Structure 1
Amino acid sequence: MKARWNGEVVADSKETRVVEGNHYFPPSALRMDFFKKSDKTTVCSWKGTASYYDLDVNGKINKDAAWYYPEPKSAASEIATYVAFWKGVEVSET
């Protein structure tokens, strides 16, 4: 799976984990030069507290476009530190 935004592949992995229709990419699949930590957090009743990244690609910022669970609840332990995308980030097999 590849995650693309603003003309660049920001993550690429053959081993994503799918939860609630979202592909979660392992940290090793991320091109970290495009990721900037965000102050945003949200809480999911069964996964726990999510943290966010902004994407900074070719001079454009996509605020809070990626999220992850640094310390998820036990029900979501399989996605600990894995990153998912939204806000126009295209996730596809090619």
Structure 2
Amino acid sequence: MKAVLNGTVIAEAPKDDLIAIEGNWYFPPASVNSEYLEKSPTPYTCPWKGECQYFSVKDGDELLKDRAWSYPHPYEGAFDRVGKDFSDYVAFWKEVQVTD
């Protein structure tokens, strides 16, 4: 599967390596082209996943605020709920299209 923004592949991995959580596909950290991500200071803590790290996604000269996120240190109970460790996996929102 691929995460694509205006023709640029931001992440790519076999579907079996991704994790689906609440309708979003989470890509393994090694599959993400981190050069297109910039850490965001936006705070958020999910009640069951834990503290979130948002990223803004680079689209040429434009920076799309908070269009990607991950959970660097999820709550332990979250692993049981999801079925595996999803630490640092990255999901995308809005303009970033996830396709097969």
Tell me the TM-score normalized by structure 2: 0.87
Q: Quick one: percent identity of the two aligned structures?
A: 40
Query: One-letter code of the match for 1:12?
Result: E
Which residue matches 1:49?
51
Instruction: Measure the CA separation in 1 of the matches of 2:77 and 2:95.
Output: 28
Given the alignment, which residue of 60, 79, 84 partners 2:86? 79
Give the 3-state SS of the residue equivalent to 2:63 in structure 1. Answer: strand
Root-mean-square deviation (Å): 1.1
Which residue matches 2:82?
none
Structure with higher strand content: 1
5+ residue gaps, structure 1, are none
Count residues in correspondence.
Answer: 93
Tell me, yes or no, if the aligned pair for 1:62 and 1:87 is still in contact at 8 Å. no
Give 1:88 shift.
Answer: 1.8
Question: After superposition, where does 1:1-94 map in structure 2 within 5 Å?
Answer: 1-14=1-14, 15-77=17-79, 78-93=85-100
Instruction: Measure the CA separation in 1 of the matches of 2:94 and 2:9.
Output: 15
Query: One-letter code of the match for 1:37?
Result: K
Give 1:58 shift.
Answer: 1.5
